[in-house]
Amino acid sequence: MHIPDGYLSPSTCAVLYGASAPFWYAALQRVKAILTTRLVPLLSVMAALSFVIMMFNLPLPGGTTGHAVGVAIATIILGPWASILAISIALSIQAVFFGDGGITTLGANCFNMAIVGSLTAYAVYRIIAGRAALTSPRRVMAAALAGYTAINASALCAAVEFGIQPIFFKDPSGAPLYAPYPLHIAIPAMMIGHLTFAGLAELVLSAGVVAYFQRTNPSLLKLTAPGNLAPDDAIADPGSQSLWHTLRPLWIGLAVLLVLTPLGILAAGTAWGEWSARDFSNLQTREKMAIASRHTAPPAQPPRGLERLSSLWTAPFPQYAPSFVHRPAMGYALSGMFGAGAIILVSLIAGSLAARGKRKGSQEP
Amino acid sequence: MNFFERTLAGFLDAVEHALDAEEVSQANGLLQRLDPRVKVVGILMLIIAAAMAHKFWVIGAVFVIALILAASSRVSPLLLGKRVWIPVLLFTGIIALPAPFVIPGQVIGRIPGLDWPLTAQGLASARYLVTRVETAATLSVLLILSTPWTHVLKALRVLRVPVVIVVILGMAYRYIFLLIDSARDMLESRRSRMVGEMTGSDSRRLAAASVGVLMSKTLQLSGDVYSAMLARGFRGEVYMLDDFQTTAVDWIMLFCFVAIAAAAFYYGR
């Protein structure tokens, strides 16, 4: 899981450092606002603990042993933001001091394990644990699944990063310059190991530690349990007041991506499988489809099911180009704004309905 | 080996690695004499140059420069072999092994008996991967072995890493060894009282409980550390004493690093 230097191209590494930066910034601001002067000692010691947890060799069913990252248990105890920082710091020390994982790939490793891992673990744990009591067996199951899902989500990200290397980076003879295997090999190769051993190690650790705390000190589980939040719990609660302030970099990132959407026009060829029924009768698009399918000619007629269902729904902006806009770049940008705006609107309505439901629930005797 | 032995061996390896690094960083070699800022920036440039090279001979040339740096810094090939070359070859070599048979391209031969096609592009990709990983790993281990951790941290400020992160990295590193000690004592004392074999589920329960105990101790420790810091006047601001001084040798070596990296970028395109 710790990607060494040399497996990813420098541009992939740069993109993943860039993708991680807003999360690090948001997490640091959020945790700093809550912990103030306690930030330095708490994060230092918790990062050291994350490092030591990664060294534990866990006994797995079947007689083997395996290492866990401990991302789910860090998220459950510290909340997702502090967990992102603690795991990132532990990964940095592993890379810089112990040479475990690369220096150029540190951004990718932090993105996969610390960011995707913590957020996935948090979402799964909160959804499954719900409002169960701190000592409920449901929390043990939620922790187990959170650990298992988080490590597999991280592995999937790493597999996709490996799998896209041979698509974009080849030498003049066509030899892949970095991780050589395409997505259809990289994804199963990574996932088989993680769906079995690594996932199991994370599952055993997360469930075991939550069960241990339920017996000895359940108050440590309060941070990610809704309903009885202590003042410090706001680290974990994504709905507190300073949300706008800490999420500002993410909004700025979204705005930049919207402005950059016309870059899609530069892409050559056709997106494989995203064809309409009409494309099968157009000579030019048939040629593009054949190139995208490794020179396999598409069928002479569009598939019947595709033809029948294609008239069911007509998109308001077909081909990302509203009919009233004549410049494709403007059409792309407008479609991006419309799409992102629609998603944000739906999220805000859903969030407001959920908050109203929660308020009603808490007012009832 | 059961999980006790494996985990304890892992702890021992980490401590041994730290001792190796301390010993090598005290030697009187070329890299040890350099200003850590020059070392961090220079070696990082070489790693990026090796990562960007599209030609095998350029990666090979950067590897040879890494070997020259190792020899002039009194880093023994045995230590590099044990810490880098053999582990990397075992890990990346196994990953790269199927590439010559899986990557499509010009068939240059077949495995006798199995009739598997061997492609030129597959062989080249395996060679790129192994040499690139070996080169980058050798360079980063050279940096680590020749520089005390506190110096690496201070040098990170040149790369604009925030002071608070540098301080957290420094403190975390110190507490890693304290926690390793604590975890080792815990596992050894448990093992010394153990009679017979443990079942699988008992081992898992014990491993999870050990992590749980360590976590509780750590949370307690963070409170103690905070109180100790407050007692010594800590108010949340962190400062670092930057007392590095560059000499003529530093500037010459910085020029060499920049020239080598620029040449590697140019010829490796």
Q: In angstroms, what separates the C-alpha of B257 from chain A's closest C-alpha?
A: 18
Q: A73 and A215 share a domain?
A: yes
The domain total for chain A is: 3
Tell whether A2 is covered by a domain.
no
Q: Which of A2, A8, A54, A55 to mutate to test the interface with B (most CBs of B within 10 A)?
A: A55
Handedness of CA B179, B183, B186, B188 (dihedral sign): negative
DSSP per residue over A39-79, as a string? HHHHHHHHHHHHHHHHH-EEE-TTS-EEE---HHHHHHHH-
Q: A209 and A111 share a domain?
A: yes
pLDDT of A291 over the 80 cut? no
pLDDT of A107 over the 90 cut? yes
Q: A121 and A175 share a domain?
A: yes
pLDDT digits (tens, 9 = 90+) for B145-196: 888 887 888 788 777 788 888 888 888 888 888 888 888 888 888 888 888 7
Q: A43 and A132 share a domain?
A: yes
How high does pLDDT run on average in chain A?
80
What does DSSP say about strands B107-110 and A65-67: parallel, antiparallel, or unpaired? Answer: unpaired
- pLDDT at res. B132: 92
pLDDT mean over B15-24: 83
pLDDT of A35 over the 80 cut? no
**DSSP assignment, residue B109?**
E
Tell whether A129 is covered by a domain.
yes
pLDDT mean over B240-259: 82
Tell whether A114 is covered by a domain.
yes
In the listed set A313, A328, A347, which residue is the last one of a domain according to the structure?
Answer: A313
Tell whether A4 is covered by a domain.
no
Q: A288 and A164 share a domain?
A: no
Tell whether A90 is covered by a domain.
yes
Q: Give Cβ neighbours of residue A77 (< 8 Å, ≥ 6 apart).
A: A213, A220, A221, A223, A224, B215, B219
Instruction: Tell the burial category of B144 from Cβ atoms under 10 Å away from its Cβ (0-12, 13-18, 19+).
Output: buried
pLDDT digits (tens, 9 = 90+) for A58-88: 777 766 777 788 899 999 988 899 899 989 9
H-only helix segments in A267-319: 283-292, 304-309
Q: A53 and A115 share a domain?
A: yes
CATH number at residue A188: 1.10.1760.20
- pLDDT at res. A237: 47
Q: A253 and A291 share a domain?
A: no
* Three-class SS state of B118: strand
Contact A46 B218 (CB under 8 A): yes
How high does pLDDT run on average in chain B?
85
Q: A284 and A362 share a domain?
A: no
pLDDT-derived band at A236 (thresholds 50, 70, 90) equals very low
Contact A37 B226 (CB under 8 A): yes
Q: Which of B140, B213, B220 to mutate to test the interface with A (most CBs of A within 10 A)?
A: B140
Q: A321 and A287 share a domain?
A: no
pLDDT mean over A149-172: 91
Q: A259 and A211 share a domain?
A: no
Q: A102 and A212 share a domain?
A: yes
- pLDDT at res. A150: 94
Tell whether A210 is covered by a domain.
yes
A130-to-A143, A148, A153, A225, A226 alpha-carbon distances in Å: 12, 18, 21, 8, 8
Beta bridge partners of A177: none
- pLDDT at res. A238: 45
Distance, in Å, from the CA atom of A325 to the CA atom of A338, rounded to the nearest integer, reads 14
Show the domain range for A20.
10-233
Q: A289 and A147 share a domain?
A: no
Q: Which residues of B touch A213 (CB under 8 A)?
A: 212
Tell whether A201 is covered by a domain.
yes
pLDDT digits (tens, 9 = 90+) for B68-89: 999 998 888 888 898 889 988 8
pLDDT mean over A275-293: 78
pLDDT mean over A200-218: 89
pLDDT-derived band at A231 (thresholds 50, 70, 90) equals very low
* Three-class SS state of B75: coil
- pLDDT at res. A120: 95
A315-to-A318, A319, A320, B52 alpha-carbon distances in Å: 5, 9, 9, 43
pLDDT digits (tens, 9 = 90+) for A303-318: 777 777 777 667 666 6
Q: How far apart are the first and last CA of chain B?
A: 48
Strands (E), chain B: 107-110, 117-119
- pLDDT at res. A16: 93
Among A47, A49, A102, whose Cβ lies nearest the Cβ of B136? A102
Tell whether A5 is covered by a domain.
no
Beta bridge partners of B110: B117
The three-point CA angle B25-B27-B30 to 5° equals 90
- pLDDT at res. A268: 61
- pLDDT at res. A321: 66
Nearest residue in A to B237, CA atom:
A37
- pLDDT at res. A240: 47
